[in-house]
Amino acid sequence: MSIPNLTVGLDLGDRSSRTCGISGVGTKAFEDAISTTPASVREYFGRLPRSRVVLEVGTHSPWVSQELVQLGHEAIVANPSAVYGKRRRRKRNDRLDAEYLARQGRADPELLHPIRHRGTKARVHLELLRARDTLVRARTRLINHVRGAVKPVGGRTRRCSAEAFGRRTLEDIAPELQPALQPMLELIKKLSEQISKYDHDIEKLIASDYREAMHLQQIKGVGPLTALAFVLLIEDPRRFENSRDAGAYFGLCPRLDDSSDSQPQLRISKAGDEMGRRLLVSAARYILGPFGPECDLRRHGMAIAARGGKNARSRAAVAVARKLAVMLHKLWVSGTTYDPDRLTKRRAA
């Protein structure tokens, strides 16, 4: 029997998931448990009439939402951090979560703060960047371990780049420590070689599929990695009506908790993708650093840092990163040539 205006809550688990159907009049129509596999999802939802299916964002939500759309359903992917905030409901389990999602989706989908998943192509290419990022973090931990291990015996490793560390450090290690640390140096060298291969693959990918990322590298400090990550994470520049929204998308805007006359200054929201935010802040630190070019971005950050106070340099880097995200989106949408002194020239005129 067809249930009109059916809303289905789907609480995804790694192996099994719970469903709860709410009819148009608000009564519970059914509850089920299904396996979290493509075949099971297709078989179960293929039997249901066209419905609104609400699920939370997670590891399995990209392919599950894609399957639901292909079956003709309306898939809404909820953002749990925005729905629940810092505190989850006291009384909850998979069955209750499925019913909660269904009732929220039936009442007003905007209450779920729905998100939009990236396309398959963007997700696949993002994994190249995430794999490289994972290797860089692993190499950093290994290098720090080696540097710390030689100090208790009176040693000290020379200053060098991470790429050269595996080749140049062995002679700085005491003979009694070499059996323990030499295998780690070999591993560091292999990681550096693989990271270099990833860098080469990223440049090839930009040249073949993402020419817009090459356009974004006009800003000194924005390299192939940052430009490609920015393009892949946003995917569609038209998703933002205003370029200023790009800063908030990467969690670089302060959180808001105003009430009456109280307007506290809060930390940034750190919403969105952590890797993308870290790359933008890293580019901002280069712009503010000793090798950074003289430009509007640098002058903006230096003015904030000059105010002094606690963490002035860090606040300046975040402010420049936020402005950099806005500028990159503007360059992407407009396709114009980057002018590093555009704001200064406008003020002078």
**CA-to-CA distance for 192 and 319, rounded, in angstroms?**
32
Instruction: Supply the pLDDT for residue 300.
Output: 94
**CA-to-CA distance for 120 and 63, rounded, in angstroms?**
9
Q: What are phi and psi of 222, to 5 degrees?
A: -100, 105
**CA-to-CA distance for 342 and 345, rounded, in angstroms?**
5
**Which amino acid belongs to residue 291?**
F
Instruction: Supply the pLDDT for residue 2.
Output: 43
Residue 181: both structure tokens together: 């640390």
> Do the strands 7-11 and 16-22 form a parallel or antiparallel pair, or are they unpaired?
antiparallel
Question: CB under 8 Å to 280, separation ≥6 — which residues?
Answer: 226, 230, 250, 252, 321, 324, 325
Helix (H, G, I), strand (E, B) or coil at 254: strand
Torsion of CA 129, 130, 136, 141, to 10 degrees: 170
**CA-to-CA distance for 244 and 251, rounded, in angstroms?**
12
Query: 136 with 129: CB under 8 angstroms?
Result: no
Instruction: Supply the pLDDT for residue 89.
Output: 55
Statement: the pTM of the whole predicted model exceeds 0.85 = yes
Tens digit of each residue's pLDDT (9 = 90 or more) over 132-175: 999 999 999 999 999 999 999 888 998 999 999 998 999 889 99
**CA-to-CA distance for 162 and 143, rounded, in angstroms?**
8
Query: 47 with 62: CB under 8 angstroms?
Result: no
State the pLDDT confidence band at 80, using cuts at 50, 70 and 90.
confident
Residue 135: both structure tokens together: 């290797």
State the pLDDT confidence band at 181, using cuts at 50, 70 and 90.
very high
Tens digit of each residue's pLDDT (9 = 90 or more) over 269-280: 888 899 999 999
Helix (H, G, I), strand (E, B) or coil at 28: strand
**CA-to-CA distance for 278 and 136, rounded, in angstroms?**
13
Q: Degrees (nearest 5) of the Cα angle 310, 315, 321?
A: 170
**CA-to-CA distance for 28 and 164, rounded, in angstroms?**
63
State the pLDDT confidence band at 240, using cuts at 50, 70 and 90.
very high
Question: CB under 8 Å to 208, separation ≥6 — which residues?
Answer: none
Helix axes 312-334, 224-234, angle to 10 degrees: 70
**CA-to-CA distance for 246 and 248, rounded, in angstroms?**
5
* pLDDT at 86 exceeding the cut of 60: no
Instruction: Supply the pLDDT for residue 259.
Output: 63
* pLDDT at 1 exceeding the cut of 50: no
